[in-house]
Structure 1
Amino acid sequence: MPRRPGAHIILGLKALVQLLNFPYDPDRVASADEAVASELDSVAALQCLCSSRRGIGPLVDDRWSLVQRLEAEARGRDADIAALGRELRRLQHDNARLSRRVVRSRNDDERRRTRLLLSVPKELATPAALVSRFVAASRSVGEFAGLLHGAGTCASSSDDAVAEQARSWRRYAIEAHLWRAMLLAGTGGGDAGSSFHGIMKPRDALDALMQFPRSGLSAFCRAAYLAAVQPEAEAAACRNLDHRAFVSRGGHPRTRLYRAFAAAARSVWALRVLMAGCSESEQSGGGGDGVRMFYASRGSLYRAEFMESVPALGAEEDRRVETGEEKLSVAFTVTPGVKVGDTVVPCRVLLCRRREGFVRIR
C-alpha cells in the first residue's frame, strides 16, 4: 500500500513518542507532542503550497503571453511613430519652401500692383531724384518731430543746460520713432485713377488726400498716423484723441498737427515709391548696387563716411576722433541713411562716449 507524502516522518515521530513514554516523563511527552504538532503544520503548509503552485501555473503562462503580445504592439507603435516623424519633417520642409515661394510671389504682386497703379515718371526714378526726395523727407519728418516735441515740453520749459540737453535727446528719440514707424507701415493699395505726379502736385498734402481719397497715400497716412503718433503725444498736442478716432475711420482732419504729419507722410511715401522704382530699374538694367536704406546698430563705432553726428561734432572733437584719441559709439540712429549706387547719404546718429567702464551720452 503506497504511503502518503510525509508518512515516514509521522511514523518516526510516533516511535519517538513511544520511546519517550518509557520510562514515563510528562514534560518530555508534552514537548514531543508539540514537536509532532509543529511538524504536522509544516507538512500541511507544504501540501497547500504545492496545490496552489499547480493552480497558478496556467495563469502565469497566460500573463506572460499577454506581456509578449503587448511588447510586440509597443514595438509596432514605435515604428509607426518614427515613420510619422519622418513624414512630419518632410511636410515641414515642404511647407517652409512653399511659404518662401508665397512671400516672393506676394512681394512681386505688390511691386507689380504699385507699378500698375502709380505711373512714376522716368526722370524721377533716378539716383539724383531719389537722394533729393530723401533729403526732403528727412526735413519734413524733422519738422513734424519738432512739432510733437514742442507740444509736449512747452509747459515745462527751463533754461537749465541739463534740461535743454534732455529736451534735445527727447526730440531725437521722437524723430527716430517716427522714421521707424513710417518705414514699417504698409504703402497701401490704391485705385487706377491715382498717379504719382497727381498725388505730388498739390503743395498741401491734405489737398492731395482730398483729391485722391482712395489712393495708396491715403491708406499709408491712416496706418502711419496710428503707428507713429502715440495717444499720449496726440493728447498733449490737441488735448483730446479726436484726431485718432477720425483717422481710424478713414478721415483726414484739417488741423495744424495733421497737416504737418501729412506733409511728412507724403514725403516718406514718395521716397518709398521712388526707391521701389529705382530698384526695379537697377534690376532690369542688370547692374549697379541698387537702392539700400541702412541703420547704424547700437554700440557701433562712429564712421564719418556713413554717419553724421547730431549734434554736430566740434572741430577739436572731430580731430580727436580722426586721430583715434577718442572713440565714439552709436547710442541710436535718428535718421536712416540711404545708398544709391555709389552715392551715400549718411545716417544721422546720436553718439556716446565710453569712459571708465560706463557709457555717457554726449
Structure 2
Amino acid sequence: METARPAPSNFGSLAKTVTKILRLRRAATGSGGGGGVGVASDKYKPIMEKLKLSGNLTEYSTMLSEPHKDEDGKQQQEHSQKLSSKDKEAMESLLANLFASISAIKAAYAQLQVAQSPYDPDSIQSADKSVVSELKHLSVLKQCYLKNQLQSHAPPASQSALEAQIQEHRSLLRTYQITTKKLEAEIQLKDSEILSLQAELLSSEKQNRALDARLHPGRSLAALDDLHLSGLNPTHFLTALRYAVKSIRSFVQLMVREMESAGWDLDAAAGSIQPDVLRRKPRHRIFAFESFVCQKMFSDFHRRDFNLSSSADRSAWDQRRFFKEFTDLQFVSLKQAFDGKGQKSALGKFLRAKYLALVHPKMEASFFGDLDQRALVSSGRGFPESAFFAGFAEMARRVWLLHCLFFSFGPEEEGSIFQARRGTRFSEVYMESIAEDDDDDDDTAGVRPPAVGFTVVPGFRVGKTLIQCKVYLSSRVGGRS
C-alpha cells in the first residue's frame, strides 16, 4: 500500500497568502461606510498598488511576508532608490561606452583620411580594423540594451563609466592630433605654393621691367636688379645718378610746358634764376630750370637724414640699413609711398617736403588755377592724381634712392657732393660742359676763356671715383683760379 506523499511546502504558504488577502478585503470592506463598498486605508495603499500591478502570487507572498515597516513607506522608498541607483549606473556605463566607441570611430576615420595622401596601406588597414572592431562593440551594446542585460551581467568588451570616459578623451585627443598633422601638412603645401608663386611673380616683374626698359630707355632701374651689398661699386652709383638726372630733365620739360600753357615769359623766368648768363640764347634756358630743380632736390643731400626732422633716426643708420632701404623701395609705387609705413612713410614725407619747397604757391596757382593740389600734399591725406605731380614724384623717388645708395658705401668709400661756383675756371677733371659755348658775336668773344656760369647737376666723389659736375659755361663771366 502506497504511503501518502506530503503536500508541497509552498501549499501552506499559498493558503496563508489567500487568507491574508481575504482578511485584507474584509478589513477594507468593514472600514467603509454604509454603502457596503469600502476603500482600503492609507497604510495599505502601497501594498495594494503593487498587487494590482503584479500577476505573480509569489510576489504577493514576498511582499506580505515583509515586516510592517512599510506602513510609513520608508522601506519601499529605500528599495526603489536602490533599484534606480543600479539603473542609473548601468545607463551611465552604457552611454560612456557608446560615446567612447563613437570617438574611436572618429579617430580611426581621421587616420583613414590622412593615410589616403600620401598613400599608406598599413595605416589604412589599421584604421579599417579599428572601425570594424568598434562597430562590433556598438552592436553588442545595442543587443544588451534591447535584452535588458545591462544589470544582469556586463556585456563583452565593456568598461566602467570612468574608464570609458578616459578612453573617449584619448580618442578625441588622437583625432585632434591627426587633424593637426593634416593641417600642418596643408600649411606646408600652401607655403611651398606661395614660394613658387612669389618666384613666378619676381620673374614676371623682372621680365616686365626688361620690356619697359626696352620700350622706355632711361625710365627703369632694371640695370640695378639683383644688386648685392658685397658687389656694390661706384659704377652702380653712376648708373643710379643717370636715372635720377633723366627723371629731373623729364620733370623740367613737363614744368616748362605748364609754364607755356599758363602764358609765362620763359626768358624772364630763366633770367630770374641765372641773370646775365643766358642772354640771346633761348635754347639754353632749359639749363637754368634744370639748375633750379637740382638745387632744390639735392639740397642737404650730404646729410643722412636729408635735414628732415621726420627722418632724424637715419643719422645713426649704417650702410646695411641704407642698402636695405634701397632694395625695398626700388620698385615702390606712388600710392605705396604715401600710404605706407616705416621706410615707405619716410619716402612719402620726403616727397611732401620737396614738393612744398620746389613748387611755389604762385607757380601752382598759375598752373592749375587753385592750391588744392598743394593742400592735399601738405595734409598727408593722399596724393594728387595729375601728370605734373606724378612726374615730380618719380623724380623725387629716384633722388631718394640715389641718396640711399650714396650712404650704402662703407667708411673707406665715404662720398661727398660738390658744385662749381660761378666764375670758376673750367677744369676737365671736376667739370663737364653741358652745352657748347657759342660765340656772342661781340668784340670780346673768344678773348676771355670760358668760365662757369652756373652748375646744372652737382658732382660726386665716391671712394676714389670722381663723378664730374655738369656746368654751363659762359664767356661773359670772369674766370677764377
Aligned to 2:350, which of 211, 220, 230? Answer: 220
Partner of 1:249 in structure 2? 379
Do the aligned residues in 2 keep the contact of 1:294 with 1:337 (CA within 8 Å)?
Answer: yes
Evaluate the alpha carbon distance shift between residue 134 and residue 123 of structure 1 in structure 2; reply closer, same or farther with a 3 A threshold: farther
Cα separation, 1, equivalents of 2:374 and 2:341 = 17
Quick check: 1:274 aligned with 2:396?
Answer: no
The aligned counterpart of 2:467 is 345
Q: Which residue of 2 aligns with 1:145?
A: 252
Of stretches 333-342 and 304-313 in structure 1, the one that deviates more from structure 2 is 304-313
- Mapped to 2, the partners of 1:256 and 1:244 lie a distance apart of 14
- Equivalent pair of 2:452/2:472 in contact (CA under 8 Å): yes
For residue 87 of structure 1, what is the aligned residue in structure 2? none
Q: Considering only CA atoms, is the larger Rg found in Structure 1 or Structure 2?
A: 2
* Partner residue in 2 for 1:101: none
- The CA distance in 2 between the partners of 1:136 and 1:342, in whole Å, is 22
Question: Closer, same or farther in 2 for the Cα pair 1:153/1:123, shift >3 Å?
Answer: farther
When normalised by structure 2's length, the TM-score is 0.40
1:306·1:345 contact (CA, 8 Å) conserved in 2? yes
SS class of match (2:408):
helix
Q: Does 1:296 align with 2:420?
A: yes
Alignment partner of 1:206 out of 326, 334, 345: 334
What SS is found at the alignment partner of 2:453? strand
| Secondary structure, aligned partner of 2:451 | strand
Within 2, Cα distance between the matches of 1:123 and 1:173?
Answer: 39
AA aligned opposite 1:136 = Y
Structure with the larger RCO, 1 or 2 (CA within 8 Å, 6+ apart): 1
| Distance in 2, Cα, partners of 1:352 & 1:265 | 30
Are the aligned partners of 1:140 and 1:267 in contact in 2 as well (CA < 8 Å)? yes
Aligned-residue offset at 1:195: 4.0
Match of 2:284 among 163, 168, 171: 168
In the other structure, the counterpart of 2:59 is: none
Which structure's residues are more often strand, by fraction? 1
If the length of structure 1 is used for normalisation, what is the TM-score?
0.52
CA RMSD of aligned residues (A): 3.5
Quote the residue 2:360 is aligned against: 230
Give the partner amino acid of 2:418.
F
**Code of the aligned partner of 1:134:** L
Aligned to 2:458: 336
Deviations 1:12-48 (A, max 9, x none): xxxxxxxxxxxxxxxxxxxxxxxxxxxxxxxxxxxxx
- Gap change, CA 1:343 and 1:331, over 3 Å in 2: same
**1:266-291 Cα distance to aligned partner (Å, 9 max, x none):** 1111111111121xx1x1xxx45x31
Report if aligned partners of 2:417, 2:458 keep a CA contact under 8 Å in 1: yes
1:237 Cα offset (Å): 2.8
Post-superposition CA distance 1:109-164 (Å, at most 9, x none): xxxxxxxxxxx951574312111111111111121112112211343689xxx998
Closer, same or farther: CA 218–164 of 1 in aligned 2, 3 Å: farther
Corresponding letter in the other structure for 1:175: E
Superposition deviation, residue 359 in structure 1: 6.2
Distance 2:248 2:307 in 1: 17
- The change in CA–CA distance for 1:123 and 1:247 in structure 2 (over 3 A counts) is farther
Note the residue ranges of structure 1 that are not aligned, 5 or more in a row: 1-119, 318-323
Partner of 1:99: none
Distance across 2 between alignment mates of 1:146 and 1:123 = 37
**Which ranges of structure 2 fall in alignment gaps of 5 or more residues?**
1-226, 267-277, 300-305, 315-320, 441-445
Quote the sequence identity (%): 28
Per the alignment, residue 183 of structure 1 pairs with: 298
CA contact (8 A) 1:336 1:348 kept: yes
SS at match of 1:277: coil
Alpha-carbon contact 1:331-1:349 (below 8 Å) kept: yes
Cα contact 1:186–1:223 (8 A) shared by 2: no
Q: Is the contact made by 1:209 and 1:252 (CA closer than 8 Å) also made in structure 2?
A: no
Matched AA of 1:343: T
Q: Does 1:258 align with 2:389?
A: yes
Matched positions, count: 218
The answer to whether structure 1 residue 122 and structure 2 residue 229 are counterparts is yes
Are the structure 2 counterparts of residues 195 and 342 from structure 1 closer, same or farther at C-alpha, using a change threshold of 3 Å? closer
Q: Structure 1 pair 259/294, CA: closer, same or farther in 2 (3 Å)?
A: same
Shift of 1:313: 4.9
In the alignment, the residues of structure 2 paired with residue 149 and residue 271 of structure 1 have an alpha-carbon distance, to the nearest angstrom, of 25
1:134 counterpart residue number: 241
Counterpart code for 1:165: K
CA contact (8 A) 2:437 2:473 kept: no
SS of residue paired to 1:200: coil
1:247 partner letter: V
Judging changes above 3 Å, is the alpha-carbon distance between structure 1 residues 352 and 313 closer, same or farther for their aligned structure 2 residues? closer
SS at the partner of 2:427? coil
The answer (yes or no) to whether the contact 1:186–1:220 under 8 Å persists in 2 is: no
Alpha-carbon offset, residue 207 of structure 1: 3.7
Matched, 1:310 2:434: yes
Select the residue among 358, 363, 370 that pairs with 1:240: 370
Note if contact 1:148-1:233 (Cα within 8 Å) is conserved in structure 2: no
